[in-house]
Amino acid sequence: MLVIRPITSADFAALKQIAIESGHGFTSLPVHDGRLTQKIKHAEQSFNADVTAPGDQGYLFVLEDTANGEIVGTTGIEAAVGLQTPLYHFQQNTVIHHSAELNVMNQLRTLTLCNDYTGASEICTLFLRESYRRNHAGRFLSKVRFLFMAEHPERFASKVIAEMRGAADKDGQPPFWNWLQKLFLTIDFPKADQLIGVGKKAFIAELMPRHPIYVGLLPDSAQAVIGQVHENTKPALRMLEKEGFTHRGYIDLFDAGPTVEAPLHQIKSVAASRKVPVKVAASAEQAQGEYTLAVANTAIKDFRASFGKGARFDEQSNSLIISPQLAEILQLSDGQMARFINLDQA
């Protein structure tokens, strides 16, 4: 069975391996021992903190296979981005150049450096090992964050964002990056990627263009990928769009991938989740359900969540019937509360 839980210091080696497997462009997990150790420590502090409003907290979860104890994925939430280290984007706009005398009007797209998402919550750091990408595991890894946010809304902002990985060429390089590197940064993409990953973002304010950039002046290859996602990211984007996330013109500085957003309480899985008492069945067969449910306890530092058909909702008693195995994994007993969503209806 697969279970989500908060990360601990004992998970360092597994997290580093995931960082290696995720590759360039996955800036939230750099292959950097100090940064990874810091992220784990920060997550442990965040789960243990007494919080009444979102601040500088980062919640990082790991997906564990209870059959062998292997860590097979991660998923995370930043409570409020940009408070300690600025979060930059390009904002897409349209400017009008009009000449009444010549009867000419041109609508021109521009990109402007901004940090408009300061204070928003961000869902991030989602990675699932390839051998486990089946049977709703990826969907669960994405949606389990919404169960946690629905249960503890005071810890998060009213606006939630997700940065989507941008398009890359056959060599893994973002076409959007080439013109930026040539004109402004003069460092290669892996170096910039590594600097962002370890939190060294001062070079953005120091070297990036301070004035709006006319998109029409960019090479065609760069223009073509603005707002486009990496081929491997398309399923994740479709899933978030079904949740109600929309793209409002903000893109990543380096690969031009879109940042999507949604109001927390309007996210489909947040609104559709139900919080009910549980009843532990005498056997797994008695708890067997028709649908695949994602079920989470209501704890913070002892948060646990899993998914499968070992639970069913009973309308008559307004309770969730769960198998003994699921009850043990989620640390739940009769009468305690759980929150769940139906993954089959997502």
Residue 220 burial (CB count, 10 A)? 7
Instruction: List all residues 6 or more positions away from 130 whose beta carbon is below 8 Å from its beta carbon.
Output: none
Alpha-helical segments (H) within the chain: 12-22, 33-48, 137-151, 175-180, 189-197, 202-207, 220-224, 234-243, 268-272, 284-287, 324-330
| Residue in the structure block whose two tokens are 């005498």 | 282
Query: Could you tell me the sign of the dihedral formed by the alpha carbons of 323, 325, 327, 330, in that order?
Result: negative
* Of 24, 89, 230, 247, catalytic: 230
Query: In the annotation, is 230 catalytic?
Result: yes
Distances 212 to 110, 185, 186, 208 between C-alpha atoms, Å: 6, 17, 20, 11
Q: What span, in angstroms and rounded, lies between the C-alpha atoms of 278 and 187?
A: 55
Cβ(344)–Cβ(333) under 8 Å? no
By annotation, the residues acting in catalysis are 230
